[in-house]
Amino acid sequence: MSLKVVKFGGTSLADAKQFRQVASIIKADPTRRFVIPSAPGKRFSGDTKITDLLYRCYDELHAGGNFEKTYDEIVSRYNSIIAELGLNFDLTGEFDYIKNALLHRSGRDFAASRGEYLNGIILAKYLGFDFIDAENVIFFKENGNFDDERTDTALRCELCSHKCAVIPGFYGSMPNGTIKTFSRGGSDITGSIVARAADADLYENWTDVSGFMMADPRIIKNPCVIDVITYRELRELSYMGATVLHEDAIFPVRHAGIPINIRNTNAPDDRGTMIVATAPTYDHKRVITGIAGKHGFSVITIIKDMMNSEIGFGRKVLEILEDNELSFEHLPSGIDTMSLILPTADIESRRDKLLTQLNRATRADSVTIEDGLALIAVVGRGMVKAKGIAARIFSAISTANVNIRMIDQGSCELNIIIGVDENDFETTLKAIYNEFVK
């Protein structure tokens, strides 16, 4: 029998109305057996997420102030959900326990995690599902890294004894019994881990948009939704700033070969975006899958005569980066020049040191750093074999009157990376989008 793991984001569970919508989605398909809820998100623009209220509680307390008012706000949010759903139970015992724990050094992560924890209890009750506390199945190591093996073993064992269950997202436990959370948005990761342990056929990730957009909606008005995207493409786009799914949520299911379906809780008939291991290279009409980009890059340019014939030149340069705990994004090279593209923020504090070290080690004719570069990734699995894509991209950029500062396309790549001046970032992104989406 097929099995789906379903994760619902914060806005999907912001209030009782949204809980009903989520329940109807789950009940519509009996294979939706394991549910990962986030904490209640914003009900309206200007509202505050429960997780943020919890962090605020902790910070107020930590600053020696009074957190009662904020805490009451949290309690009343949950109580109104329970009341409006007509559930016959109350969480007074839980609320008291949490308040006490906050007062007794349970830590900031514990505070933040209670949003998912409480939401999980309510959702389980409402659905009539079992509740599995994530602290008993999601484990971290002493060093704070996720403990993949221990988690997978415990989770597989636990899931076997439940037909249907709710497992709150975002957190797990440390070897010493304290609670630790993933980074923000980490419920996506919990969902992915559960999907793998459950040997799910599909990991549905329900959110407030109808899938992964082809471009940033803050720049492109109403961008098209991507139907099918590969893990690799998604990773390229996510890395370059596109968001929907937590970046680390990809690896557990990817290795298990489980597809992810991004769906819209409030438009359940939309098919959303399917994230898969492999997809035909010519299955979509637009050739490119998506476009994303980031500001804030610097270029270190090293010029030295005969650099090209100097064996070990590149190694020396990268060794200095490594000493400074830096990793480069791109390394375009000519005969006598080598450029390193890095985030400006990474080099900021050691700019002079880097210049000195590079000069000394390479005995270069010149080493310079230039800021203000934006990188744009045009991603598409069809690009490797398709002809004329580069022509369309660069014609569009040219028509937009933008000067190109860097290009990087590898031989087996599914992307072209284009560097432009930060001031040209939005213009370039729009030009490329409009070229491919008519």
Cα separation, 425 vs 402, in Å, equals: 9
322 binds a copy of itself (CB under 8 A): yes
Cβ-proximal residues to 93 (8 Å cutoff; 6+ apart), any chain: none
- Which of 408, 425, 429, 436 binds a copy of itself (CB under 8 A)? It is 408
> Whose Cβ is closer to a copy of itself: residue 96's or residue 319's?
319
Site string for a copy of itself, 10-49 (x = CB under 8 A): ----------------------------------------
Q: Which of 222, 312, 352, 438 binds a copy of itself (CB under 8 A)?
A: 312
Do 276 and 366 touch, CB atoms closer than 8 A?
no
Distance of alpha carbon 34 from the chain centroid = 21
Residue closest to 189 by CA, chosen among 138, 276, 248:
248
Residue range at the interface with a copy of itself (CB under 8 A); choices 103-111, 181-189, 257-265, 385-393: 385-393
Part of the chain binding a copy of itself (CB under 8 A), chosen from 35-43, 51-59, 96-104, 402-410: 402-410
Does 1 interact with a copy of itself (rule: CB under 8 A)?
no
Kindly state the helix (H) or strand (E) to which residue 353 belongs, with its residue range. Answer: helix 351-362
Interface with a copy of itself, residue 371, by CB under 8 A: no
Helices (H), 85-147: 92-103, 108-127
Choose the binding region for a copy of itself from 81-89, 156-164, 285-293, 414-422 (rule: CB under 8 A).
Answer: 414-422
Residue 82, C-beta contacts closer than 8 angstroms, at least 6 positions apart:
89, 90, 91, 122
Smallest distance, a copy of itself to C-beta of residue 416, A: 7
Of positions 64, 128, 280, 388, contacts a copy of itself by CB under 8 A = 388
Of 250, 264, 277, which Cα lies nearest the Cα of 193?
250
Whose CA is closest to 423, among 393, 395, 403? Answer: 403
236 near a copy of itself, rule: CB under 8 A? yes
Beta bridge partners of 179: 173
C-beta of residue 336 within 8 angstroms of C-beta of residue 305? yes
Binding mask 335-354 for a copy of itself (x = CB under 8 A): xxxxx-x-------------
> Which of 178/301 has CB closer to a copy of itself?
301
Q: Residue 370 interacts with a copy of itself (CB under 8 A)?
A: yes
Nearer to a copy of itself, 173 or 415 (CB): 415
